Amino acid sequence: FGSSFRHPSRCILTCAFAPTPFVRQSRLQTTVITNMSSAQDNRDGNEPQAHMEPQEIAQETGTDLSKGLTSERADELLEEHGRNELEKPPRPSLAMLFALQLCSFVIVLLLIAAVASVVVNATGSKKDDPLSYTTGIAIFIIVFINASIAAWTEHKAGDALEALTKMSQATISVLRDGSEMKLEVPLLVKGDIVILETGDVVPADLRLLEAEDLKVSEMALTGEPDDVSKTWKVKSPDDESEKLTPENMVFSGCSVSNGKGRGIVTSTGMHTRIGRIAKLIEGDEEEKPKKKCFCLPDMTGNMTPLQTNLEKLGARIGVLAIVVCVIIFIVGVLLGRKDPSNPDGSSALYMVLISVTLAVAAIPEGIPLCVTISLSIGCKEMVTKHVLVRKLAAVETLGSASVICSDKTGTLTEGKMTLVKMYAAGQKYDVEGKGFDPTVGKIMRSGTSRDAGQDMGVRSCLLSGLLCCNTVLEQVKDEETGALKYEPRGNSSEAPIVVASRKAGFDETSFAQYSRVVEVPFSSSRKMMLTVCRVEGRQHLCQNGMPLDAGAKYMSICKGAPNYIIDTCKEVLNEDGSVSKMTEETKRELLEIVDDYSSQALRVLAIATRCMKEIPFDLEDDDITTDQKFQSCCQELRLIGLVASIDPDRDGVPQSVETAKGAGIRVVMITGDYLKTAAAIARNVNIIGKDDNEAQVAVDCTRLRPNEEYLNHQEMDALTRDTVVFARAKPEDKLEIVKSLQRQGFVTAMTGDGVNDAPALNQADIGVAMGIQGTEVAKGASDMILTDDNFTSIVAAVEKGRAIYAGIQKFVAFIMSVHIAEVIQIAFCIIVGMPVMRTPLQILFLILVTDLPPSIALGMEPGEATILKDKPRPKTEPVVLHFMWVSMVLNGLILSSIIIVVYILALMLECDGAFLQQDIESLANYNNHIMAARTVAFISLVWSENVRSYTSRSFDKPVWRNVLGNKDMQKAIVLAQLALYAAVLIPTFSDMILGLDGTIIGWKGWVMALAGPVAFLVLCEVCKFITAWQMRRYQRQLARQQPAPMKDCKSGDAIEQKTSFIQNENRNCQD
């Protein structure tokens, strides 16, 4: 949220943009209505649609309330009113990005150096020679080229991120042309009929037409933390005089926290209530946007932590470069160093030019560009691994992840549940088949092969379950094969019941015979769903079904967690249709059956009913809450049976879990399933290892909150330190688990899909939302989205994140070693009294033309095969580690030493054995001799840096290992070589501008240049032994810094007692 907290209305708008009303709740609650005159407007009736009948609103837009808009009319309204979007600040143009590049501290130093070069030459003896200005002009040109490339790259990266954003564009269900369809939110128009479900973010201002237990979080709009109940009925203005929003309207940016509804769009875009707040902010002159360089927008807020750190690193190096320049300037003036081409000139002016050369050599101008390219390309490549990165900073954090907390259904498992066993009316049954095809398989009594689909207990149990479902089974065409296949539409946990019901002879037409009058949707707190259906006039539930109580008009059906439902049952159905009391012995037997099914990794649901002569409340009374309805109907139930479904493991998940463990990442499963079911599945996917003590590593989440209050921090941390399975978890448990792990120093990734998962996703270091099953609220709170909901994609993303970060470290080390070498070479020449090895223009050409392509290639370096065997890096770890600094300095010294030797030998070869400037100046035509020696050193340096590009691909592995593994590197080296030969062989450009000439050095010069990279390769590989030793020591240090498992912790008796408590509680826990 940044500085927007200083303005309440700005804060509210930011929430709506997210759209994540759950984010930072405690801070939001203190910032709301103080700056909102619209709060009073709410009471003044400025929403006239709230007091209009739906038909009146529909007439304005030509909407058919039963069929929705036609496509043609929707297109007309879209053209008339525009897209359903808030006005956003325009993206910086390419010209603006170019101007921003010129404001970089590093670039400013280069511009100062260019100006200094021009000024010195303009006041010197060669002021009339146009070629004397080539250095300054060339610096300007190269800075222009660098800024252009950086601006273009950033612009394209913005395009790529915008494309990724569109891939995860929010959609909503609407009614058009008489059919329900998914529509992108920006295409919504006034008059559309919108269908809302739990987890949706309201896409526009709506007048409700239907509302079933609908509750909306309006905190993004009003700041009120409590969910607001909604109705479709028209209320009088007097009834709503004290309410901030009308009860029969929902507003854009708010999230549906419970129930479902249907509404007609009354306002879109800037005409919505949140849009009106946006207009207020546009007129807010109190706080102006931050500016950079007096007039340009400050874009530093969009930088990732890595980019910020590297920007600071570049600035520190720039300051250091200034200090070095000043020192060398003073030393040069005191030693009387003069320009070889103008021996009579001023030493001070010459040393200004040398300082310019040093500044150019010291400043790492290529790092920001390479980082931008690496991050943008990395995000695009992650799409191929089914990961959409919403925040660039997540790419960096992925490499630090030490715990992955994952949901089970659809992430670790396929999410295609199949009913395989059931218990009904005192008998056990097996169900054949796999997937959603109801024509495959049959229902059999356990131990037999006889079709038992017509047994009273089977039909009663499955029909009861079907009447408490909202899922339907449809035949759709497979996009790949064109064949028809069955697919469920609705809740995945209900699909097994629907499919098995078909096998028993029931289908969706059964609903019409039992009209539903009450529905209480499933909630994570109740762990149950309840419906009430009409059964008036029936003696039996169905043909071959259980008998109904005499005079029964309604039947209450409850479906959900076995332990919850069994506790509410007073009776149990017998095989002959009679009922018996639910005794403690019966409960124990039933729980043993649940345990047996759960130990087979089956998910168990219980189904219970209650016959009623009358509904125990007034259906027309809107003041009765959902909980009151539930409590009044969920009493004295009769247990009909249990259904047990299996959700197969996703392919590759067990291997990915093992890979994560090898990478030092603990995988934690958090599920609403029964403890034994969760533990069995965790063993199947290797989350619980062969040697793990299940009683210690798998716990029921009631242990987190005995007496409905969470444990204190010390006890909570002791419980979560070793646990890898949390069963029967509520969404709020996820938040407490994440906080506990973070207190212990773990960097946590958390998956989530529901509206109530948003706080945990926001709290986690990496929030991961599901792309298929995830709600818009969960996606809005996340850092990245899994487009296939697959756990293996998380591990693949971690691997890619580590590879991207490692690539950035490699090219930073490469660039820095090159700059260190350049500074050492120039400083050595000045101190010893040799002709300066190269000009500022030559240095810029080296860095930006021959060094930049290999640097970019290093940023795209594939991850090393062992990258997932390293320990996670600490989140606060600097980009350049100690062993990297050692490697950079050693390589810089080796490169400098070799090139200096090559240069000295070249000077001696070209200058009759002389290498000091004062001796060379006595030779005839000595400037050509110096040019030849510089050319030899230049060629040797380029070749050596190309060798360095290959050795930089690994800090500790030999260069010949997978030497051609990076195809981009081969392209970069070819480009660098072409640039080299253009620099030394093209007439005028080489000799007149760059001051190089490859045609005058002869074969001896080329051979001498070749000696440099050969020697450099040998010495660099020797240095890797030192770096490898330091890396191993660093990994051991990281391992010691990892939070210790509780079994290894020596913190005292309290933790030992807690461990004993957990084990004893799990042994005694029957549910």
Structure tokens at 234: 């028209």
Structure tokens at 818: 């090159």
Q: How far apart are CA 788 and CA 987, in angstroms?
A: 58
AA letter at 109? L
Q: How far apart are CA 878 and CA 1003, in angstroms?
A: 46
Strands 784-786 and 387-389, by their bridges, are antiparallel
Q: Is 407 a catalytic residue?
A: yes
- Is the distance from CB of 730 to CB of 522 less than 8 angstroms? no
Q: How far apart are CA 894 and CA 900, in angstroms?
A: 10
600: Cα separation from own chain's centroid = 34
CA atoms within 13 A of residue 195's CA, in its CB half-sphere: 13
C-alpha radius of gyration, the chain, whole number = 36
Strands 766-770 and 748-752, by their bridges, are parallel
Classify 1069 in phi/psi space as left (phi over 0), alpha (psi -120 to 50) or beta: beta
Q: Cβ atoms within 10 A of the Cβ of 332, count? A: 23
Contacts of 126 (CB under 8 A, 6+ apart): 132, 342
Closest CA to 84 of 276, 278, 275: 275
Structure tokens at 235: 């209320």
Query: Length of the chain, please?
Result: 1071
Structure tokens at 573: 């159905």
- Is the distance from CB of 63 to CB of 264 less than 8 angstroms? yes
Q: How far apart are CA 129 and CA 116, in angstroms?
A: 17
Closest CA to 775 of 169, 259, 164, 201: 201
Q: How far apart are CA 57 and CA 49, in angstroms?
A: 7
Alpha carbon of 20 to those of 142, 776, 780, 783, 1028: distances in Å? 45, 9, 6, 12, 46
Q: How far apart are CA 320 and CA 314, in angstroms?
A: 10
Q: Which of 205, 227, 407, 700 is catalytic?
A: 407
Residue 994 DSSP class: I
AA letter at 400? S
Helix or strand holding residue 604 (H, E): strand 602-612
The C-alpha angle 905, 908, 910, rounded to 5 degrees, equals 110
SS3 call for 260: strand
Q: How far apart are CA 653 and CA 915, in angstroms?
A: 66
- The residue behind tokens 């310019």 is 356
275: Cα separation from own chain's centroid = 28
Q: How far apart are CA 248 and CA 230, in angstroms?
A: 6
Residue 19 preceded by cis peptide, ω within 30:
yes
Q: Hey, which residues are catalytic here? A: 407
